[in-house]
Structure 1
Amino acid sequence: MSISRISSGPGGKDVLLIASPAALSEPSRVALPEPAPAAAAGLILPDGSINWGCPCLGGMATGPCAQPFRDAFSCFHYSEAEPKGSDCYEKFSEMQACMGNYPELYGRDDDEDEPVLPGTGTAPGGDRSVLPGTGPAPGEDRAPVAADEPDAKELAKP
């Protein structure tokens, strides 16, 4: 029974193990080192590069639209245009087109299905954040909503 170990690549980082049939008939005794946790590093690595293994990307860096996503995200991250990312429109369009081909994987967010109360820019569940395109009309002055005010559901009750 024999196992041969061959190292290659820069710094010997790649290891090839060649085992005889006798060695393969027994349970393995090879112990692999624990991989460095990619999640612990965060989205941006200390060298400024993107950590594609970060769970904060929600799996977008893998799957059928991984390459368009990576291209668009990289373009935005490294963009020096003003406003940032304004030179990435084509990359984001390609990503969006790809995602449109896989609605079962890249469907709408649940948040997008919530209706917006007319004229308020808030969702009925109490989310008081202003949604795009729902701010005050030109010339209309709207004061911020205080935290102790009743939410939209309470106001709608008879």
Structure 2
Amino acid sequence: MRSRILLGALSAAVVIVVASAIFLLAPPDVDESVVRLKPGDLKLVRLGADIYAQNCAACHGDGLKGERDWMDANPDGSLKAPPHDETGHTWHHQDDLLFRITKHGTAKAVGLENFNSNMPAFEGVLTDTEIIAVLSWIKAQWPQEIRERHDLINAQGGAPSS
């Protein structure tokens, strides 16, 4: 009887170790080079609203308005949190760049070692799916015209001409 209990406990431990190894060694949820936001996915957008409220609103504001005077640098030279509504520049960037900025932080995402930004990296804090959810929620808040322009930016592979 005792050996069965020991064998059962050992088997459970092996399963836990193998599952943990698979989880830790698994590739990311998404291929960062082909990220696409899903503002029409209501379940994902609802999740994104919650994540935004918990992780983003403190800097970017409840109404996506960003910090006051966001185009002016802070006294330490760091950039202020920009708005994520149609008045900001978020929609000027392709989905994959928005994803990388959110996951890795601005400096790493844009490849500028000395870029001074207070934007934290959310890698290890949010899953790839959660990052896509929050970005999809942000896009879902934009007026239809801006969403369409953003779709064109994704299709053309670059920033808008105007």
Query: After TM superposition, is the score higher than 0.5?
Result: no
Q: Report which of the two has the higher share of helix.
A: 2
Tell me which interval the TM-score lies in, with the shorter structure as reference length. Answer: under 0.3
Q: Report which of the two has the higher share of strand.
A: 1
Higher Rg of the two aligned structures: 1
TM-score, normalised via structure 2 length:
0.26
Question: Higher relative contact order at CA 8 Å, sep ≥6: structure 1 or structure 2?
Answer: 2
TM-score, normalised via structure 1 length:
0.27
